[in-house]
């Protein structure tokens, strides 16, 4: 059995994972903006990275280093305030300089270091600041620094995202703990959000990668704030094996662990949405009755990405016609509009291609007022379904992004 802890004050350390933070002067003065993560020997790590064609230099390097170490890197280095994307060869050299510094300081091969960056795109990375602050981060390494680590990786976020799940496997308590950042440029396509998850169970590399793919597809790949996929998206899953529990593929323990991991990653993903830039609403888009899961997801994403739907959500305006229009332009062949129904927070809004006979504007307003909304669409074309989590679109989102570099 397993149990989830959701309060940061109850965050559980993972044996074999130490974290240290420092101030490299990359963003607001006096704020931690550099994180060094130490992984004990024999820790296995799987990673997924953005599919954006302009992905950042540190993403390419991290992917290469995961492969070079056959999934056994020893250190993760994360800086905020600068994405080191759109920086060409200079960006590559700067990221490698940071990896070289960690390798020299900690006595490991350079391939054992995975770099990650988040922040402004197109600005040269001041690697000298990171190198200068590295000693401070190394001296700060502790298994109890998860909360400090969660704060050090933030950019426009207003709060930290950190979660722990405890899993009982064969009478042994095991842990999964993770942190994430992200508030804007959120429409991950993992193949600006970052997530780092660790567990004390032992997993062989192929199974570790499979579990990460499955959990990421059910969590981070189901969120969107603004429809923009970052150049720097990445998520890692590290398994130290320190609990002594070994997870085998297709075992009952594997199924329990997979469920717990997915639960934790969904919680982190939803935390990102709830902290979306300028967001005042958390919205779950459920689409049922699709011929395929992909078709249902296509409709859900079309609704979630519609600026007109999102502004109506912000205004708490039951302008259901915008949802109807989004469904209609999602590209489903031969859609029978008369078979489509729409509910908002359990209120029947539309059926048979028109406003429901039972619907009133008072009902619609009451359905739209809460900060948490569920928009449910029934396509009546099959048995497949999909869920996407998103936000509204507010004045503050425009203000935050218009003033991002000023």
Which sign does the torsion angle of CA 63, 65, 69, 75 carry?
A: negative
Q: In CATH, what number does 2-274 get? A: 3.60.70.12
pLDDT averaged over every residue in the chain: 91
Q: Name the segment(s) of the chain with CATH classification 3.10.20.340.
A: 282-402
CB atoms under 10 Å from CB of 17, counted, come to 26
Mean per-residue pLDDT for 243-254? 96
Residue 8 pLDDT > 70:
no
* pLDDT (tens digit per residue) in 96-146: 999 999 999 999 999 999 999 998 899 999 999 999 999 999 999 999 999
Q: pTM of the prediction?
A: 0.91
Q: Name the segment(s) of the chain with CATH classification 3.60.70.12.
A: 2-274
Q: Tell me which of 97 and 1 has the higher pLDDT.
A: 97
Residue 227 pLDDT > 70:
no
Q: Domain 282-402 belongs to what architecture?
A: Roll (3.10)
Q: What is the DSSP string of 279-309?
A: ---EEEEEEEEESSHHHHHHHHHHHHH-HHH
* pLDDT (tens digit per residue) in 345-378: 999 999 988 999 999 999 999 999 999 999 999 9
Of 28, 17, 19, 34, which is closest to residue 118 (Cα–Cα)?
A: 34
Mean per-residue pLDDT for 286-296? 97
Active site residues: 192
Mean per-residue pLDDT for 8-24? 87
Strands 34-39 and 75-82: antiparallel
């Amino acid at each position: 059995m397993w149990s989830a802890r959701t309060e940061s004050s109850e965050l559980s350390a993972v044996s074999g994972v130490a974290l240290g933070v420092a101030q490299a002067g990359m963003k607001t003065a006096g704020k931690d903006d550099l994180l060094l993560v130490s992984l004990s020997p024999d820790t296995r790590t799987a990673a997924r990275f953005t599919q954006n064609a302009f992905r950042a230099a540190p993403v390419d390097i991290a992917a290469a280093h995961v492969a070079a170490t056959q999934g056994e890197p020893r250190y993760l280095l994360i800086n905020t305030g600068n994405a080191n994307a759109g920086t060409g060869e200079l960006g590559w050299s700067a990221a490698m300089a940071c990896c070289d510094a960690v390798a020299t300081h900690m006595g490991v091969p350079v391939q054992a270091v995975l770099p990650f960056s988040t922040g402004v795109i197109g600005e040269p990375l001041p690697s000298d600041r990171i190198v200068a602050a590295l000693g401070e981060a190394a001296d700060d390494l502790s298994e109890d620094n998860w909360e400090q680590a969660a704060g050090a990786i933030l950019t426009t976020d207003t709060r930290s995202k950190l979660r722990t799940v405890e899993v009982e496997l064969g009478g042994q308590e095991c842990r999964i703990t993770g942190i994430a950042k992200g508030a804007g440029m959120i429409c991950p396509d993992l193949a600006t959000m970052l997530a780092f998850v660790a567990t004390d169970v032992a997993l062989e590399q192929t199974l570790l990668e499979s579990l990460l793919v499955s959990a990421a597809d059910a969590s981070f790949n189901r969120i969107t704030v603004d429809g923009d996929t970052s150049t720097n998206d990445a998520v890692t899953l590290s398994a130290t094996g320190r609990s002594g529990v070994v997870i085998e593929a297709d075992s009952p323990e594997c199924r329990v662990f997979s469920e717990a991991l997915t639960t934790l990653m969904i919680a982190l993903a939803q935390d990102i949405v709830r902290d979306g830039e300028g967001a005042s609403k958390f919205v779950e888009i459920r689409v049922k009755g699709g011929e395929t899961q992909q078709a249902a997801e296509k409709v859900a994403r079309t609704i979630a990405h519609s600026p007109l739907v999102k502004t109506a959500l912000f205004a708490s305006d039951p302008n259901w016609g915008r949802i109807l229009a989004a469904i209609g332009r999602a590209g489903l062949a031969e859609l029978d509009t008369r078979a489509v129904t729409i509910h908002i927070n359990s209120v029947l809004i539309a059926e048979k291609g028109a406003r429901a006979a039972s619907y009133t504007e008072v009902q619609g307003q009451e359905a739209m007022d809460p900060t948490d909304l569920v928009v449910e669409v029934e396509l009546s074309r099959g048995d497949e379904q999909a869920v996407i989590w998103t936000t509204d679109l507010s004045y503050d989102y425009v203000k935050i992004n218009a003033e991002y570099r000023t």
